[in-house]
Amino acid sequence: MRFFYVVGFLWALALPLRAIDREAFSISRYDLNATVEPEQQRLAVRGRITLRNESDDPQKNIALQISSSLHWVSIKLDGKPVEFLSQAYTSDIDHTGALTEAIVTVAPVSPEKTIDLEIGYEGTITQDASRLIRIGVPAETAKHSDWDQIGHTFSTVRGIGYVAWYPVATEAASLSDGDSVLATVGRWKQRESQAEMKVNLCLSQNSAEGNSSPPLQMFMNDAQSGVRGGSAGGITEKNVSTRCKAYDFKQLGQSVPVFVLGNYSDNSRENAVIHYLPEHKSGADDYAIALDQAGPAVNQLLGAPNSKPAYMPETFDLPDAQDAAFDSGNALLMPLAQNDTSLLLAAARQLAHTAFPSPRLWISEGLAGYAQAAYMQSEKGRAAAIAYMQGHRAAMVESEKENLAQGSDKAAAHSLINDPDQFYVETKAMSVWWMLRDMVGETAFTDALHNYKASEDKDAYYVQKLFEARSHRDLAWFFDDWVYRDRGLPELRIVSVYPRQLVGGGYLLTVTVENSGQAGAEVPVTRHMAQGESTERLIVPGNSKASVRIRAPMLPQEARVNDGSVPEANSGNNSFKIEVTQ
């Protein structure tokens, strides 16, 4: 009998937790005091957060999550401790693969109302790639992706999606579940885009005589004034030196708050600031050359920016040459010990990011990717640029298959203007910008971008109208299929080629193309001969056929639809052998 009583009691306790809506509250304001102790790899945070009930119902349970390597010390309401349950919560939005979750019980908070909590938490942040290793990524590879840590001589810690060093509240996400992690992080960014974050970041170091640790500089990608570093003064007490600096994100937007501590030297350029580690000075010099070389090219490709960038691009050197690059806002973190091509592509992306800010992810991230592909074309030709884009499409193609399987009612939710998955949006948008340039031509494309103003981008149709005005073309079908809705990808094949011999010599080919996908596309159709080739462009709506006529001086050997510039669900059947019939 006692057994059933205990089980019933535990079940009763579990019911409220099972019913928690972890995403009911957003955090509209952070005011944090964060102290980093490199020698102990330790982070201690005290502060206040404001939460807003975004749901339609009163809520009395609040979920607050931090990295599993941290633990909650206190949570107070109106200066008094509140009841909370601390528990482990498995989720891959943190590099450890888990979170320390506090379930806070308060008086019911009505919809759209706010509540202020005083919070305290602390712990260590060491390098941990558990979430990647768990799904089969080799440990050596995983550590170069999840490189976040507080170290003795160097520290870099990114926010949500990497390390939950500030409180968040999300449902569980797993890397083994498709794009679950990216979508969850994207939803959080959308919810928190208007949130304010103030961080008083303090660095506490041993200043005793004989201590070998170098003095470290502090940086954070402060959204109010770009990346800022240095210190506002400090104190030394009992052989411990503490220096602090205040940072203010007026609006988080799409930024991921990052703090960096390192023994940096600076290379200040007209178009960027490079923070490099002493052993990588030559890499910093190479990247400075890459920025100078890519700058004019990016302006030529995208149109020179119509105003001075709000923030100077800043690059932070990473100590391991194999570490994966990361950017957020105007801050780029990457190893400077790389080859020339990698440095040039990174420079093109960073300069495009900074010169063309936009509140829309598909514009800011998509154009940054497009700038890399376009720069590749200017250096190595169109085929190399298309190969570069194709090398980034595999995950996007898989996402499109999953999205399409959810039905047409999800087409708007998975569109470029709504989907929270940043990687998917960035990859698809890169191809969308490339296709748009092919359709309207270089002059109209550059002119439209030159006249883009983020302050005037108030509705989703702004960019469409801008490009229609410059190109004098109706682009509604293209934006509807590729931007406003997700209709998947085209699936193109040539169903017939009819050659007709002309009286004056040569042939006129009628090429019929079928698109069995739902998204329409304007694609190149090329006839190949031993002496050369020629191309015409053809619009093929979704689930339709269309034909184009191409002149040829002699009977071609092959016709091909799509040169790889248009992403497809299946590109293995794009060619058609032309056989001579007697």
> Residue 159 is encoded by which pair of tokens?
């926010």
Indicate the CATH number of 492-577 among 1.10.760.10, 2.60.40.10, 3.10.110.10, 3.40.50.150. Answer: 2.60.40.10
CA distances from 36 to 42, 67, 265 (A): 6, 15, 21
Return residue ranges of the chain for CATH 1.10.390: 361-484
Confidence of residue 13 (pLDDT cuts 50, 70, 90): very low
Taking the C-alpha atoms of 385, 339, 331 and 328 in order, what is their torsion angle to the nearest 10 degrees?
Answer: 50
Integer Cα distance of 80 and 68 in angstroms: 25
Mean pLDDT to the nearest integer, 533-557: 92
Sheet hosting strand 98-109, strand order edge to edge = 59-67, 98-109, 84-90
Dump the DSSP string for 204-232.
Answer: EEE-STT--PPPPEEEEEETTTEEEES-S
Mean pLDDT of 286-306: 82
Domain span(s) for CATH 2.60.40.1730 in the chain: 18-263
CA distance 415 to 484: 5
Beta strands in 129-258 (DSSP E): 149-150, 155-157, 196-206, 217-222, 226-229, 234-237, 240-249
Percentage with pLDDT > 70 across the chain: 90
Q: Is the pLDDT of residue 382 over 60?
A: yes
Class of domain 18-263: mainly beta
Question: Which pLDDT score, from 0 to 100, does residue 572 have?
Answer: 84
- CATH assignment, 361-484: 1.10.390
Predicted structure pTM score: 0.85
- Ranges for all domains in the chain classified under CATH 2.60.40.10: 492-577
Please tell me the least confidently modeled range out of 137-151, 272-286, 294-308, 424-438: 294-308
Is residue 397 a contact partner of residue 567, using CB atoms and an 8 Å limit? yes
CA distance 342 to 287: 10
HEC states along 110-132? CCCCEEEEEEEEEEECCCCCHHH
Give the mean model confidence (pLDDT) for residues 532-560: 92
- Could you report the per-residue pLDDT of 510-524, keeping only the tens digit for each? 999 999 999 999 999
Q: How far apart are the C-alpha atoms of 181 and 146, rounded to whole Å?
A: 14
> What number is the average pLDDT over the span 149-169?
96
**The pLDDT of residue 7:** 32
User: What pLDDT is stored for residue 224 in this prediction?
Assistant: 47
pLDDT in tens, 56-113: 999 999 999 999 999 999 999 999 999 899 999 999 999 999 999 999 999 999 999 9
